[in-house]
């Protein structure tokens, strides 16, 4: 056992010394109190000048003097401090919500964009790298370095730097317009619900609504009635429409409110369809300009799938495998709705679903997940989480002493500086050798102004030693917004927060353990459709009784979690809602079909009609289908997950299959954990992700592993 929450690792005092450029890659632990907005701008400008010098040196490399170090490695490292400044500024903004840092972040981004637009030595550098890639010495490089050469050249092709000048100019125009369209799309989606409202002037139209809601609606409509008569306001903000769908006895009122709840992306002045069409057209033009058949192929080229068609084949296969469970669910739901109506239904009005559910609630398990909360003491959960993964992965995780300083203050010797008093810091070492793998900050308690939800951010990737072994440790931050402690009350988490914590810790272990010959192959660079696999795998432990026993006990009595509750929780993992599973698969199919075939199959047709045609076999039998999910699917319209919404289900499938091995060999089996660490966590992106999975499983991944969760 290798986790210690009490012992404190001594940190060299020299690492806390003030730096001339606190935002640069210098000390192992940053001096956060020195990171002012003004300093950020100064460091960004210094980093831009440094980048200019680095690129000038790269451009001067001749074919005769070229080596891996002065070409490909130099290309990767050029502007590294500039990226570091932006990373730290982004982190401080999201962690503290400081408006001054947000303003500075925008200013730095503008200056960085202007600098990159200069295209300093771009054509000459492209020729240097092309010549180097074709040089005979590349064949003698290590596999990791050869892989990086290939990755770099693919990146250059996709960047457009190898295109003729006129096409480079057109590419810049496309990317600028896509950025503007993406911003407008998100703005329309967010604004649509704010402009919808329903004014009711006859109380009979709201029959069945609770008294408190009626009072709220009447107060909202006080200024909207005619001739002093009362009116009731329904909207999506102050007087929510959702209760109307559940309680109102008047079908027409429910119908109007359902239209309101589905108005995002459809409101006349905020219709996202023209934006979607234009985005699809521009993406297709961009992809074909770069030599791809379609945008899905372009997105998949550097991912596990390799092509859009392979991604679509996966989604179609998952849909077919899920159909028996989906058909059974639909039949059961329609039978319930028919009983509630007193007549057989072939389809149901979407505005009647919540109302009918209230008349005839579905059968539910007697298990209430909230019964776990008294057993989830915050400190014990955190220490237990680390204990599980320290033991499984043969690690030593130690907490470091910390201090949150004011500008100008110096931390005591051996103390790590943080950006907020709530932040803790941990060092991760190999249990056998004592080698320092990395350190991470943990800032998981909710507070005002912090960015919502949870995330892991690599702050600085470790530098390999000269012999290719791990040299400089990694640094990262685990961020969340979990329940804060209250005076006089036990500090408890709920099961949803437990899920969030284990999920993010999966990312963290990936970041801490990844190492290889090149820093360019750090964990952050793994294929996008693989990055969620470790996090989705590690969240599985919150359902396992053997693991739960290590971090659960009643806050008042100290009694362990009853076996009955642990077993019931474990069983609920197999009852994930099939409708959510199918909705994600449908979104993935729609996303891929449109990015692959809009230009040759669907162009000029209404987006809702196209969506219904594509998804018809998988749609719930409503009398009226809601507007297409693509109208509000920000993931599809955003750059990172465009034509890649399937990523979530693909990663979930890989994680489910990997969990099969743990379940077979023991969820706390250190031998299995050692293989997981060796085959996957340590490799970063130095080896293709599919090879990592094959090495861990001993075979190809099996999609049936995921379907098993929904077929019970």
Question: Which of 117, 138, 163 is the C-terminal boundary of a domain?
Answer: 163
Give the confidence band of 614 by pLDDT, cuts at 50, 70, 90.
Answer: very high
Assess whether pLDDT exceeds 90 at residue 577: no
Residues 133 and 180 in one domain: no
Q: Is residue 25 part of a domain?
A: no
Average pLDDT over residues 656-662: 96
Residues 526 and 672 in one domain: yes
Residues 545 and 464 in one domain: yes
Residues 515 and 614 in one domain: yes
Residues 505 and 620 in one domain: yes
- Indicate which CATH number applies to the domain containing 528: 1.10.1370.10
pTM here?
0.89
pLDDT digits (tens, 9 = 90+) for 634-651: 889 887 789 999 999 999
Q: Judge contact between 167 and 286, C-beta under 8 A.
A: no
- pLDDT at residue 468, as a whole number: 56
pLDDT digits (tens, 9 = 90+) for 462-477: 887 666 556 789 999 9
- pLDDT at residue 467, as a whole number: 60
- pLDDT at residue 13, as a whole number: 35
Average pLDDT, the chain: 91
- Indicate which CATH number applies to the domain containing 39: 1.20.1050.40
Assess whether pLDDT exceeds 80 at residue 363: no
Assess whether pLDDT exceeds 70 at residue 362: no
Q: Is residue 15 part of a domain?
A: no
Give the confidence band of 570 by pLDDT, cuts at 50, 70, 90.
Answer: confident
- Residue 463 or residue 44, greater confidence: 44
Q: Is residue 21 part of a domain?
A: no
Question: Which of 545, 575, 605 is the C-terminal boundary of a domain?
Answer: 575
Taking alpha carbons only, the member of 482, 481, 536, 499 closest to residue 647 is 536
Q: Is residue 297 part of a domain?
A: no
- pLDDT at residue 470, as a whole number: 62
Residues 105 and 128 in one domain: yes
Out of 228-232, 433-437, 443-447, least confident range:
228-232
Number of domains observed in the structure of the chain: 5
Q: Is residue 453 part of a domain?
A: yes
With pLDDT > 90 as the criterion, what percentage of the chain qualifies? 73
With pLDDT > 70 as the criterion, what percentage of the chain qualifies? 95
Structure tokens at 483: 């329940």
Residues 376 and 428 in one domain: yes
Q: Is residue 378 part of a domain?
A: yes
pLDDT digits (tens, 9 = 90+) for 295-337: 999 999 999 999 999 999 999 999 999 999 999 999 999 999 9
Residues 77 and 204 in one domain: no
Residues 321 and 254 in one domain: no
The torsion angles phi and psi of 276, rounded to 5 degrees, stand at: -60, -45
Q: Is residue 302 part of a domain?
A: no
- Sign, Cα dihedral of 587, 589, 590, 595: positive
Assess whether pLDDT exceeds 50 at residue 12: no
Average pLDDT over residues 452-460: 93
Average pLDDT over residues 525-539: 92
Residues 187 and 234 in one domain: no
Q: Which residues of 398-437 are buried (b: 16+ CB within 10 A; e: fewer)?
A: bbbbbeebeeeeebeeebbbbbeebbbbbbbbbeeeeebb
- pLDDT at residue 113, as a whole number: 85
Residues 560 and 694 in one domain: no
Q: Tally the residues of the chain.
A: 712
Question: Which of 207, 227, 262 is the C-terminal boundary of a domain?
Answer: 262
Q: Using CA atoms, how far apart are residues 196 and 233, in angstroms rounded to an integer?
A: 11
Q: Judge contact between 217 and 243, C-beta under 8 A.
A: no
Assess whether pLDDT exceeds 60 at residue 11: no
- Indicate which CATH number applies to the domain containing 549: 1.10.1370.40
Residues 650 and 504 in one domain: yes
Domain ranges, residue 395: 371-499+537-575
- pLDDT at residue 366, as a whole number: 63
- pLDDT at residue 3, as a whole number: 37
Q: Is residue 561 part of a domain?
A: yes
């Amino acid at each position: 056992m290798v986790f210690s929450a009490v012992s404190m690792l001594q940190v060299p005092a020299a690492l806390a010394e003030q730096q001339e450029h606190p935002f640069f890659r210098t000390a192992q632990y940053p001096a956060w109190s020195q990171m002012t907005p003004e300093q950020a701008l100064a460091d960004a400008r210094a980093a831009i000048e440094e980048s200019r010098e680095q690129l000038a040196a790269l451009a001067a490399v001749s074919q005769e003097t070229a080596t891996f170090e002065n070409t490909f490695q130099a290309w990767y490292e050029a502007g590294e401090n500039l990226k570091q400044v932006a990373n730290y500024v982004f982190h401080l903004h999201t962690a503290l919500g400081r408006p001054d840092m947000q303003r500075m972040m925008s200013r730095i981004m503008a200056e960085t964009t202007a600098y990159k637009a200069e295209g300093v030595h771009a054509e000459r550098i492209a020729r240097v790298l092309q010549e180097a890639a074709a040089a005979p010495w590349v064949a003698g490089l290590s596999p990791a370095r050869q892989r990086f050469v290939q990755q770099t050249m693919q990146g250059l092709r996709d960047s457009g730097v190898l295109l003729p000048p006129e096409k480079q100019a057109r590419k810049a125009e496309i990317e600028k317009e896509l950025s503007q369209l993406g911003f407008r799309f998100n703005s329309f989606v967010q604004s649509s619900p704010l402009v919808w409202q329903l004014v009711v002037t006859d109380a009979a139209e709201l029959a069945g609504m609770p008294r408190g809601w009626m009072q709220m609606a009447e107060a909202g409509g006080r200024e909207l009635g005619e001739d002093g008569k009362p009116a009731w306001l329904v909207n999506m903000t102050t007087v929510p429409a959702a209760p109307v769908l559940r309680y109102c006895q008047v079908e027409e009122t429910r119908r109007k409110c359902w239209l309101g709840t589905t108005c995002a992306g459809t409101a006349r002045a905020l219709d996202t369809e023209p934006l979607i069409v234009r985005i699809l057209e521009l993406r297709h033009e961009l992809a074909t300009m770069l030599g791809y058949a379609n945008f899905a192929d372009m997105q998949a080229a550097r991912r596990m799938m390799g092509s859009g068609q392979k991604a679509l084949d996966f989604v179609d296969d998952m849909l077919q495998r899920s159909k028996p469970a989906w058909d059974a669910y639909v039949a059961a739901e329609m039978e319930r709705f028919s009983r509630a109506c007193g007549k057989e239904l072939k389809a149901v009005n979407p505005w009647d679903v919540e109302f009918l559910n209230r008349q005839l609630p579905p059968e539910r398990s007697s298990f209430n997940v909230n019964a776990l909360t008294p057993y989830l003491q915050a400190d014990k959960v955190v220490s237990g989480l680390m204990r599980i993964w320290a033991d499984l992965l043969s690690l030593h995780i130690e907490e470091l002493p910390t201090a949150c300083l004011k500008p100008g203050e110096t931390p005591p010797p051996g103390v790590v500086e943080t950006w907020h008093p709530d932040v803790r810091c941990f060092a991760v070492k190999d249990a056998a050798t004592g080698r320092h793998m990395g350190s991470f900050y943990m800032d998981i308690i909710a507070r005002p102004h912090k960015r919502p939800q949870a995330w892991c951010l690599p702050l600085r990737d470790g530098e390999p030693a000269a012999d290719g072994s791990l040299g400089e440790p990694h640094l990262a931050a685990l961020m969340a917004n979990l329940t804060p402690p209250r005076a006089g009350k036990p500090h408890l988490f709920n099961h949803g927060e437990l899920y969030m914590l284990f999920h993010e810790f999966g990312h963290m272990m990936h970041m801490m353990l990844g190492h290889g010959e090149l820093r360019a192959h750090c964990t952050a660079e793994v294929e996008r459709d693989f990055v969620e696999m470790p996090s989705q795998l590690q969240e599985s432990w919150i359902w396992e009784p053997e693991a739960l026993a290590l971090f659960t006990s009643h806050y008042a009595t100290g009694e362990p979690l009853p076996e009955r509750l642990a077993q019931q929780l474990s069983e609920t993992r197999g009852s994930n809602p099939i409708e959510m599973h199918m909705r994600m698969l449908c979104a993935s199919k729609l996303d891929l079909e449109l990015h692959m075939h809009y230009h040759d199959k669907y162009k000029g047709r209404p987006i809702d009609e196209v969506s219904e045609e594509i998804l018809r076999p998988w749609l719930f039998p409503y009398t009226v289908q809601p507007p297409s999910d693509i109208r509000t699917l920000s993931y599809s319209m955003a750059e990172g997950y465009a034509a890649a919404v399937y990523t979530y289900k693909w990663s979930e499938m890989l994680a489910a299959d990997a969990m099969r091995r743990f379940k077979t060999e023991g969820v706390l089996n250190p031998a299995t954990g050692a293989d997981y660490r060796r085959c996957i966590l340590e490799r970063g992106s130095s080896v293709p992700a599919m090879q990592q999975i094959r090495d861990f499983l001993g075979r190809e991944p099996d999609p049936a592993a995921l379907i098993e969760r929904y077929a019970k």
